[in-house]
Amino acid sequence: MNSQIEPEQINDQGHLTIGGVDSLELAAKYQTPLVVYDVAAIRHQIRAFKKVFAKNQVAAEVSYASKAFSAIAIYQVVAQEDGHIDVVSGGELTTAIKAHFPMEKVSFHGNNKSKEELELAVQNGVGMIIIDNFHEIDLLGEVLDEQDATATVSLRITPGIAAHTNEYIQTGQVDSKFGFDLESGQADRALEEVLANPRLKVVGLHAHIGSQIFEVVGFEGVAKKLVDVAEHWHEEFGFQTRVLNVGGGFGIRYVQEDQPLPPEEFVDAIIKAVKKEVAKKGLSMPAIWIEPGRSIVGPAGYSLYTVGSRKDLPGYQPFVTVDGGMGDNIRPALYQAAYETVYAKDPRQKPEETVRIAGKYCESGDILARDQALPKTKPGDLLVMLDTGAYGYAMASNYNRNPRPAVVFVENGHAQLVIQRESWADTCRLDLPLASEDK
Ligand SMILES: Cc1ncc(COP(=O)(O)O)c(C=O)c1O
Ligand SMILES: N[C@@H](CCCC[NH3+])C(=O)O
C-alpha cells in the first residue's frame, strides 16, 4: 500500500477514507473531479508550528500563506486556530473580509499592489502591509493621505539567497523580482523613505527565499541575513526591528523520493539561528513570523478523479485518462511536479501495471502523473491523488471551458461543501454577445 496512507484510513470495506469519510461516498455525493481537505490535518500543522515557538519561548506568528489555497472556509479554520494569514491580491483580501477574518491579523503582500488594492487594505485596517518596492511607498503614502490614516508596514528585502528548488519557485536570489536589494543600497533607501513618512509605522523586515525547500541551510542563511540587516539599520538609522518575517517555503513529501524535514524542524532551526545572531550582536529579540502555505494545506488535500478512456500502445506506458487535469492541477505541466495516486476502492490491492494518468485537456503536456503503479482500472473507477492541497485548486483555470471542481472539507467523519462546482453555464457567465448588427 502507498506509504503515505495510514492504516486507519482504510475502512471495513477496504476503501480509502479521508477525515473519516469513505472517498467513494464523497465521489458519489459530490461528483468528480473533486478536491477534498482533511481539516484535522490543517489544524494539526498550524498547532505544530505554534508549539515550536511556544517551546522556544519566542514571540511569534504563524501566518498562513493563503495563495496556496484561498477560500472563505480556510480563512475560517485559520481564524479558529488563532492564526494570521497573508494575502497577495484584492481577491484574496476580499475573500478574507467575507470570512470575517480579523483584519489586524492579515499581512498584505505583492510586488505590484494597485492603488485600489491598497485602498481596500487601508479601509479595512489590514494589520501589516509588506512593502515591496519604491512605487508602492509612494502609492501607499498617497492612499494614507487621502484616507487620513496610518499603516503598519514591513519592508521586503531580497536576501541574495538562491534556494535549492525549481527555479520558477525561487524568490530570494539577487535578481528576483520581489523586494528591495541589499547590496546596491536600495533597502537602506527604502527604510529612509518609509521612516520619513509619519503615516508609515515600520516595524520589521521580511524575506522569502522560495518554495518546496528541503534543507534548513537556506533558512539559517536568511535568518542570519535579516539579523545583519536589523543590526545595520539599528546602527545606521536607530531603527528597532520588532518583527522578523522569514517567509515560508517548507517542503513537503509528494513522492517517496522526497525526504523533507518535518516542517517544525525548519522552524526550530530558524529560531535557533535568530537567537544566536541576535545574542551575538547584542540586539533585542524580535518576534519571528513565518508564512507557510504548502506545508499547512498541501498534505491535507486530495484530488478525486474518475477514470474514463485509456490508450495502450505496445512498448509505451499506457495512458489512463481521468475527468480532470491541468485545469485543476497545473503543477505537473508547469513544474514537472510529481504526485502519487491510489486506487480508492482498494488502496491495498497489488499493482498490476504502471501507467500515466492523463488529463482531459487538449494539451499533450496534460499528464497529471507518470509511473503510477496501480491495479488495472476500468472506466468509472475512482483514483485519488495525494498531497494536492497546495497550489492546486488555487491555480485552477477554466481552460477548454472546463468547469472548476468542487471543494469539500471533511472533519470528524462529516463532509461539507465549501466551494461549489462550476457548471458549464458558469464558464460563460461573464461573456457578452456581440451587439446586434441590424440596429
Ligand atoms: C512571500 C511568500 N510567503 C510565503 C509563501 C508560501 O510559500 P510555501 O507555500 O512554500 O510555504 C510564498 C510562496 O512561495 C511567498 O511568496
Ligand atoms: N505555485 C508554486 C509555489 C509558488 C509560491 C508563490 N511564491 C507551486 O505550486 O509550487
Q: DSSP characters for 204-246?
A: EEE---BSSB--SHHHHHHHHHHHHHHHHHHHHH-----EEE-
Residue 171 pLDDT level (bands cut at 50, 70, 90): low
pLDDT at 149: 98
Distance CA 226, CA 109 (A): 18
Residue 165 pLDDT level (bands cut at 50, 70, 90): low
User: Best of 294, 297, 326, 336 to mutate for ligand 2, by most ligand atoms within 8 A of CB?
Assistant: 294
Domain positions in the chain: 5-36+296-426, 108-290
Distance CA 197, CA 153 (A): 12
CA-nearest of 399, 400, 384, 381 to 309 is 381
Task: Give me the chain's average pLDDT, please.
Answer: 95
pLDDT greater at residue 164 or residue 385: 385
Q: What is the ipTM of this complex?
A: 0.98
Residue 428 is a catalytic residue:
no
CATH number (1.10.760.10, 3.40.190.10, 2.40.37.10, 3.90.1170.50) of 5-36+296-426 reads 2.40.37.10
Cβ atoms 153, 129 nearer than 8 A: yes
Q: How far is CA 133 from the centre of its chain?
A: 23
Percent over 90 (pLDDT), the chain: 92
CA-nearest of 243, 337, 348 to 290 is 243
Q: If you take atom 9 of ligand 2, which residue's CA is the nearest one?
A: 391
Q: How far is CA 301 from the centre of its chain?
A: 12
User: Best of 87, 89, 206, 211 to mutate for ligand 1, by most ligand atoms within 8 A of CB?
Assistant: 211
Ligand 2 atom, smallest distance to 166 CA? 10
pLDDT at 2: 80
* Residue for grid cell 536576501: 159
181-185, 239-243, 426-430: segment of lowest average pLDDT:
181-185
**Is the Cα dihedral 340, 342, 347, 348 positive or negative?**
negative
Distance CA 410, CA 34 (A): 12
CA-nearest of 5, 102, 122, 41 to 412 is 41
Residue 203 pLDDT level (bands cut at 50, 70, 90): very high
For range 94-100, the mean pLDDT: 98
108-290 placed in CATH 3.20.20.10: yes
The model's pLDDT over 265-293, given as tens digits with 9 standing for 90+, comes to 999 999 999 999 999 999 999 999 999 99
What single-letter DSSP state applies at residue 402?
A: P
